[in-house]
Amino acid sequence: EDPIFKTPWGFHPFLKPRPGVTSIKLPIPTLQPNAATTLNIMIWNTQILAVSIVLLGGVSPSLAASRSYDFTVSKFAAAPDGFNVNVLGANRQLNVPIIVNKGDTISVKTTNNLDEPTALHFHGIFQNGTNWYDGAAMVTQCPIQPNKTLTYTFKVDKQHGTYWWHSHHKSQYIQGLRGPLIVKDPANEPYTKDYDQEIIVSLADWYHTDKNILLSQLFAPGGNGDEPMPDSGLINGKGQYDCTQSNPVVGTQRAKNACVSNSTLEVFNVQQSKRYRFRIINMSAMAVFNFTIDGHRLDVIEADGTDTQKVTVDTIRIGPAQRYSVIVTMNQTAQDYWVRAVIDTTQWMQNFTSTFNPETRAILHYGTAGTAKTPTTQPPSQATLLNPYSLLPYSYPPPPANFDLGVSMRFDMLNDEVTNINYAFVTIDNVYDTVHYEMPKRPTLFDVLDGNNLPNSTLAINVAKNAVVELTIWNDDVTEHYFHLHGHQFWVMGSGQALNNVIKPGPTQNFPVRDTIAVPGCRKRANNTGEGICGGGLGYVRVRFIADNPGVWLLHCHMEWHMAAGLAATFVVDADGLRATRGSLPAAIRNTCNV
């Protein structure tokens, strides 16, 4: 029998749960600095010594350079999975990569040729001192109006690894406005000598219906939070769709829907016995993928821009906005192998139709381009799955032993009783009570710089400079959600499902470091016991970060349908210090609001 919450429960007066879903409302457990996580010893990976020796051996750092990109953002026709639709992209392409070296200054001149405003965000990039170029619409800027240009300029001098850029406005990224962002530091990265070449692998769920139509359906009265269902999945912008299926596209796109089944899949050409670093980026709206390569094991070496200790697995489960690097050695018979990225369909509220194919494929081809054959390989019968909560950094300082500020954030997806529109409702400590994030009318950064009060619907949390923050996110929903914090990395202190408001003691040392992490779904109550579907215990993840980056930073679910539903909050780091930089706000950023 499930342990249950004993706490009295009740609905918020203006909320009602989705049909078939009941909700409990609990006092959020009070957070106290946890003695169990006290760390007295700096635990650095001993391998850092080896890195130092290499440096002393005379490897010179790469020269810093300016890297300029000219992105014209537009809507154009394309058929990534064989089904012709209008997509959004830079320079009439999908997945345009930004590849730079650590220390470089990146500038991305962004011209908006869309018929709606846009803004570009550089996911995982710290933007130290350039918070205003973080690209989150109405957080750090107004979106770029049609026919206007904005140049984002920032230096990547404190990080390397695998990142990505994407629109941070109106769910544009899920229709294609996104691409890889790679920061290299070969002289200092620990695994440089362990691979010969690199391959970027982007994964995405793909929707044939224009995202504005999907959004209007999702947020119509009675939309019930039923997330839009993808039509296929893409690997590097290529997938397949069975054109004999019933046509799911509605509205104005129907006339353009030329469709070709068995569209060309992505082919990775590799050479026997060489070692490849695959940089895997999940750019999905919603999909969590399980990634495998038939016949080959995956040596994981990086997660979200942090080098990790090497772990060998067969399958990686990767959520929206997460990244992993794996080294794959081409030590098998020279032939063609399936690369598989399988969508976890249980993440959606609704069931998929039987015609939906969750398995997206590419081909690993031993040999030169143009000669790939259809593989006949099978996935591993007993696959070892990566455990992200035990994937440890290669060398990274341990979290501070104590924290200064505990933040407890709890959410559920609920139908507003008045409008019957489904939103995320977020409660943060005793400050915000069942609020959904809404984009403010003025960028939050501007209001902070000008000393204005912030709207309640920004769910703003003030943090002193260099404060150690322990954030616990409580999931009152049955499925996973993937949370991203802008401008920071965090230690993952623990996760699971809380029983009777009690969190199991987490590990006391060796914490993963991420910028995007899953909060597990809640534990469903057993039949007729407890109250609410989550009566078996809320899901939670607990992270700790140092607020050493003054700025206004969004924390949000990176499942875009949930972000759009308001599953977000705003960390305001060092408001006083920020105000002192008011005169430095670039005029181009300030002018984004002059329309």
Instruction: Work out how close the CB of 27 gets to Cu ion at its nearest, in angstroms, rounded to a whole number.
Output: 23
Nearest-angstrom CA–CA distance, 491 and 545: 6
CB closer to Cu ion, 276 vs 432: 432
Instruction: Work out how close the CB of 481 gets to Cu ion at its nearest, in angstroms, rounded to a whole number.
Output: 3
Beta bridge mates, 78: 85
Instruction: Work out how close the CB of 562 gets to Cu ion at its nearest, in angstroms, rounded to a whole number.
Output: 3
- Strand 105-112 and strand 66-78: the pairing is parallel
Secondary structure letter of residue 454 according to DSSP: P
Instruction: Work out how close the CB of 478 gets to Cu ion at its nearest, in angstroms, rounded to a whole number.
Output: 12
CB closer to Cu ion, 102 vs 178: 178
Cβ 266 vs Cβ 363: under 8 Å:
yes
Instruction: Work out how close the CB of 379 gets to Cu ion at its nearest, in angstroms, rounded to a whole number.
Output: 28
List residues binding Cu ion (CB under 5 A).
481, 557, 559, 562
CB closer to Cu ion, 296 vs 484: 484
* 250 contacts: CB under 8 Å, gap ≥ 6: 209, 213
Instruction: Work out how close the CB of 519 gets to Cu ion at its nearest, in angstroms, rounded to a whole number.
Output: 8
CB closer to Cu ion, 447 vs 476: 476
User: Which phi and psi angles does 566 have, rounded to 5°?
Assistant: 95, 25
Nearest-angstrom CA–CA distance, 188 and 542: 30
The CA distances from residue 159 to 185, 450, 584, in Å, are 9, 31, 24
CB closer to Cu ion, 168 vs 562: 562
CB closer to Cu ion, 492 vs 557: 557
* 278 contacts: CB under 8 Å, gap ≥ 6: 198, 199, 200, 201, 298, 325, 326, 327, 328
CB closer to Cu ion, 83 vs 289: 289
Count other C-beta atoms under 10 Å from residue 451's C-beta. 11
CB closer to Cu ion, 436 vs 481: 481
Cβ 570 vs Cβ 471: under 8 Å:
no
Cβ 518 vs Cβ 480: under 8 Å:
yes
Helix (H) or strand (E) holding 70: strand 66-78
Secondary structure letter of residue 236 according to DSSP: T
Instruction: Work out how close the CB of 136 gets to Cu ion at its nearest, in angstroms, rounded to a whole number.
Output: 17
CB closer to Cu ion, 215 vs 372: 215
* 119 contacts: CB under 8 Å, gap ≥ 6: 135, 136, 137, 141, 143, 144, 167, 168, 169
Instruction: Work out how close the CB of 407 gets to Cu ion at its nearest, in angstroms, rounded to a whole number.
Output: 18
Question: What type of residue sits at position 20?
Answer: G
- Strand 336-343 and strand 323-329: the pairing is unpaired
Q: Return the structure tokens found at 277.
A: 């670093």
Nearest-angstrom CA–CA distance, 43 and 399: 10
Instruction: Work out how close the CB of 557 gets to Cu ion at its nearest, in angstroms, rounded to a whole number.
Output: 3
Cβ 204 vs Cβ 231: under 8 Å:
no
Instruction: Work out how close the CB of 171 gets to Cu ion at its nearest, in angstroms, rounded to a whole number.
Output: 13
CB closer to Cu ion, 95 vs 516: 516
